[in-house]
Amino acid sequence: MSEFEQEPTQNFENHLGYFGASQELLNQLDENEQKKLKEALRELQEMLESDAPGEILVTTEKLDAPKEQLASQDKIRQILLTILGVKDYEIRAKELTPAPEEDFYTEIIQTNWPGVRIIINELAEKNARTINLEKEKYTEQEDKLMGLKAHPVEMHRKFLEAMALRDFAEISGRRVEIPPFEPLWKEKKEVVQQAKYILLDLDGCLIPAGAKQLSLPILKETAKLTQESEQPETAAKAGAAAQAEIVFSTGRATDASREVISQIEKADGRIPWAICENGCVLLHRYKEGGKMKEEVIIHPQITQAMKDELSRIKQIVHEEFVVKGRGRIEPGKAICVSIDPPAGMTTAELEPEVIKILEQKGISPAILGKITHSTSAVDITPPGINKKSGLELFCQKTGSKPQEQIGIGDSKGDLPVLEEMGATAVPHNAAKDIGIEATYTSPYDDQLGVLDILRQIEAIKKEKLTT
């Protein structure tokens, strides 16, 4: 069975399939936008599910623009291509006859799926566009191993949908409302003023959990608060740290963390460090000779025996959860095994089921006792490795101390880090069983909550500079 056949057409309204367009995305569009996007996606899904490649006719405005401007025409189509996961975009021109009005333009789009290419032929004379889809069958083994790629928590999907929302907002003239700043943080201001690092969780904090939409405008505002300070000497004289650098502390794979970092960098922000895979991997990005470089460090306590045990666990999870449709293994992780729940199930509900199965299969209590969950996945790491051990490795590399840092999290998986911090903050959506009373709780959820927390920290640091 191919990946394209995994999502039945009749379920289209509830889950818009392997394109990565969720109902959450549709809910934020007006009726006319929803209609256009649904029609385009439905036609494309039906084509992919057919036995042979075919053509989809999409009417468009008169093609009277220069070739280099063709890519900017027909915004709805552009948004659709964004959701599809465009990797490569190229416009090729070929003259079929000497007559200029019959120039033939071909746009070739390499999609986010291996083996799928979309070819858009533009015929100026007929004022029409056709889409030809070429597809290759995935092997059954690949399907079972990877699961559905367009999963609600996939980082690449989240950014694709965020770009689509941004484009729709430009068409409709809508704006994301960011509430005005109000100073609310009261406790441990001296710790905040001295803090050099902020350890920030991704899912449920900077990245909205589950299928909830990511906002690029809010992310852009957040990126501004990660830019290098222009007054370090003034801060030093005032006895404060001018800026606290943000460090990601996440269960996400290195590639997913890197994708978020790249989006921050596009907005002129910077994230030099990331603790990934719940402490298994440390990512360091830095500039050298004007070029961005990076170092990926596997935690030195992880042995080959641990890796072998986790490989066995992955196989068990594959057989007992992925094949049976009870979960999905997050792709791209070097060490940690993370399982995303199926639709309608939370990670808190999935965790005891995972522990029960692994216990029946003879997995050691040392691993079972350390299984935890975030808002996006159930995480299984090597014994003795968690976000705290990742924090210790980070402190060793930077010469910093946890007590001089600020931690931001939202779930029990963040507790090992939050317990070590000099000050803590959580967004409004933080789990009730997080296990710690935060120094500051934002009145806003996830992205807005993180933006509010970073603004509070910035304001407290400025207080020290002006007193």
Summarised one tens digit per residue, pLDDT across range 122-139 is: 444 443 444 455 544 433
Grade residue 430 by pLDDT with cuts at 50, 70 and 90. very high
Grade residue 447 by pLDDT with cuts at 50, 70 and 90. very high
Grade residue 83 by pLDDT with cuts at 50, 70 and 90. low
- The answer to whether 327 and 340 have CB atoms below 8 angstroms apart is yes
Closest CA to 227 of 267, 276, 275: 267
Mean pLDDT of the chain: 76
Most confident of 126-135, 366-375, 396-405: 396-405
Min mean pLDDT across 19-33, 72-86, 153-167 is at: 72-86
Closest CA to 375 of 357, 394, 350: 350
Query: How many CA atoms within 13 Å lie on the side-chain side of 206?
Result: 31
One-letter-per-residue 3-state SS of the chain: CCHHHCCCHHHCCCCCHHHCCCHHHHHCCCHHHHHHHHHHHHHHHHHHHCCCCCEEEEECCCCCCCHHHHHHCCHHHHHHHHHHCCCEEEEEEEECCCCHHHEEEEEEEECCCCCCEEEEEEECCCCEEEEEEECCCCCHHHHHHHCCCCCCCCHHHHHHHHHHHHHHHHHHCCCCCCCCCCCCCCCCHHHHHHCCEEEECCECCCECCCCCCCCHHHHHHHHHCCCCCCCHHHHHHCCCCCCCEEEEECCCCHHHHHHHHHHHHHCCCCCCEEEEHHHCEEEEEEEECCEEEEEEEECCCCCHHHHHHHHHHHHHHHHHHHCCCCCEECCCCCCCEEEECCCCCCHHHHHHHHHHHHHHCCCCHHHHCCCEECCCCEEECCCCCCHHHHHHHHHHHHCCCHHHEEEECCCHHHHHHHCCCCEEEECCCCCCCCCCCCCEECCCCHHHHHHHHHHHHHHHHHHHHHC
pLDDT at position 238: 46
Q: Count of CB atoms within 10 A of residue 370's CB? A: 17
Query: How many CA atoms within 13 Å lie on the side-chain side of 311?
Result: 6
Closest CA to 271 of 299, 243, 297: 243
Res. 386: pLDDT tops 60: yes
Token digits for 431?
């789990």
- Rounded to an integer, what distance in angstroms lies between the CA atom of residue 387 and that of residue 391? 6
Q: Encode pLDDT of 183-206 as tens digits.
A: 999 999 999 999 999 999 999 999
Q: Encode pLDDT of 209-223 as tens digits.
A: 877 888 999 999 999
pLDDT at position 84: 58
Res. 89: pLDDT tops 90: no
Q: Encode pLDDT of 288-346 as tens digits.
A: 998 889 999 999 999 999 999 999 999 999 999 988 888 888 878 999 999 988 878 89
- Rounded to an integer, what distance in angstroms lies between the CA atom of residue 392 and that of residue 398? 10
pLDDT at position 124: 41
- Rounded to an integer, what distance in angstroms lies between the CA atom of residue 415 and that of residue 422? 13
- The answer to whether 4 and 40 have CB atoms below 8 angstroms apart is no
Distances (CA, A) of 179 to 42, 176, 208: 37, 10, 18
pLDDT at position 118: 54
